[in-house]
Amino acid sequence: MKKLIVILAVIAMVGAFTATAMADVSLYGSARFRTYYATVDNGVAGAESDSDLEWRMGHLTRFGANFKADKITGKFEMDARAGGAGATGNIESDSGASRLGNMRLRQLWGQYDFGAGKLMIGQNYPLYDAPVSGINYYSGGLQKFGGIGYDVARTSQLRLTFGDFRLAFLPPDTSKTIPGGTNTINYTEVNTTFPKVEVRYDMKMDAFALNFIGGWQTYEIEDYNQAANTGTKATENVTSYVLGVRGKANFGPAYAGLGLTYRVNGNNYGAWTVSAHESPIFQGNDLKDATAFGVVAALGWKVNDMFTLEGSYSMLNSEVDTDLNNEDDATVWGVIGKITLAPGVYVVPEFIYQDNKDRKDNSVTTEQGDATIFGVFWRIDFK
């Protein structure tokens, strides 16, 4: 009997190792480096512009693995992160990626193909993610200046895929505060009932591609009080939704991209934004929604196998529907020249002009200045 148990155990072990050996597992990585010089005018009258050199490994440096076995696919990916997390004010420890050897989980998910569709669980990119520009300086094109993207680019989710249609259920984002005029609302409790919901439909037509994206979330804040707790105890729903469409086209050596987005309370949704006015504001005891419209456009030309030239533009307009004027706009222009030294080896010179426009808070105008950035992004992919 003991021999039979041993034999069965050996067979099980051999079967497990054989199944593992039959799986297709591929490792990959991408080393990235940032060498930029930025001159920033903060808009304060009489203040000098601040100029700084950035010389460090890029946050997007990563290492991961893809897995495939029969009807199961999966992915694991980590990236280098800063060690100081903003605590010291030192660019080496706070902004220098992985100076202390820190790593962060980017993706960890598995997907099962059940025939009629696919079920994915784990941490992956949300559906509201559609970059257009190739600019590397902002670690994600120009998405935060009016594009389609998240401030935290990957999150946990349950996702269903049926051909070109995808449906995802994500955790609601309740981390953002709700301003109340010139004060911040002191609410004592946040109640969540539903997950965040996103849908996406992708179309491909020869040289053209279109992506249609929508998302919705809602949560309740309870027992809010304004101005040193003198307001009325109540509950209020904070509801957000986002809409986005991206189009891409290839015309031989030329290509073009355009992304449009419209958001209501986008900051509370988790949209990546530089705007100070993408959150709702309390006017008295009424919650006034914030709306935003953004555009990102890119036009490129592949001169030859070694060199590609691209110009891009973004615009973000946001405001809150109150009796007073609360508005925040921004525009960015960028040019890159992508040089391919060898397969997987890229050197990308970049020039960027960022105009932060004036911000209005309760009709009070604040100059926010501008920035000029130029430098080189370095990248080597390996697998």
Count other C-beta atoms under 10 Å from residue 300's C-beta. Answer: 20
pLDDT the model gives residue 99: 65
pLDDT at position 292 over 80? yes
Mean pLDDT across the chain, nearest whole number?
86
Average pLDDT over residues 96-123: 88
The Cα–Cα gap between 62 and 74 comes to: 17
The Cα–Cα gap between 374 and 53 comes to: 10
Tokens of 104: 């962060």
Task: Give the list of residues 6+ apart from residue 342 with CB closer than 8 angstroms, or none.
Answer: none
DSSP 122-145: EEE--SS-B-----TTTTSTTGGG
* Residue, of 97 and 262, whose pLDDT is higher: 262
- What structural domains does the chain harbor? 40-55+103-382 (2.40.160)
pLDDT at position 241 over 60? yes
pLDDT at position 7 over 70? no
pLDDT the model gives residue 43: 73
Residue 13 banded pLDDT, cuts 50, 70, 90: very low
Residue 265: which region, alpha, beta or left (left: phi > 0; alpha: psi -120 to 50)? left
Residue 322 banded pLDDT, cuts 50, 70, 90: confident
Residue 116: which region, alpha, beta or left (left: phi > 0; alpha: psi -120 to 50)? alpha
Burial 307-326 (b: 16+ CB within 10 A, else e): ebebbbbbbbbbbbebeeeb
Average pLDDT over residues 46-60: 81
Residue 233 banded pLDDT, cuts 50, 70, 90: low
* Residue, of 329 and 322, whose pLDDT is higher: 329
The Cα–Cα gap between 336 and 342 comes to: 18
Average pLDDT over residues 215-230: 72
- Which tens digit of pLDDT belongs to each residue from 339-374? 999 999 999 999 999 999 888 888 888 888 899 999
| Phi/psi of residue 181, nearest 5 degrees | 65, -120
pLDDT at position 117 over 50? yes
Q: Which helix (H) or strand (E) holds 302?
A: strand 290-302
pLDDT at position 86 over 60? no
Residue 140 banded pLDDT, cuts 50, 70, 90: confident
pLDDT the model gives residue 45: 65
- Which tens digit of pLDDT belongs to each residue from 151-198? 888 999 999 999 999 999 999 998 887 765 444 555 667 889 999 999
Closest alpha carbon to 368 in 313, 316, 330, 334: 330
pLDDT the model gives residue 97: 62
* Residue, of 83 and 221, whose pLDDT is higher: 221
pLDDT at position 11 over 90? no
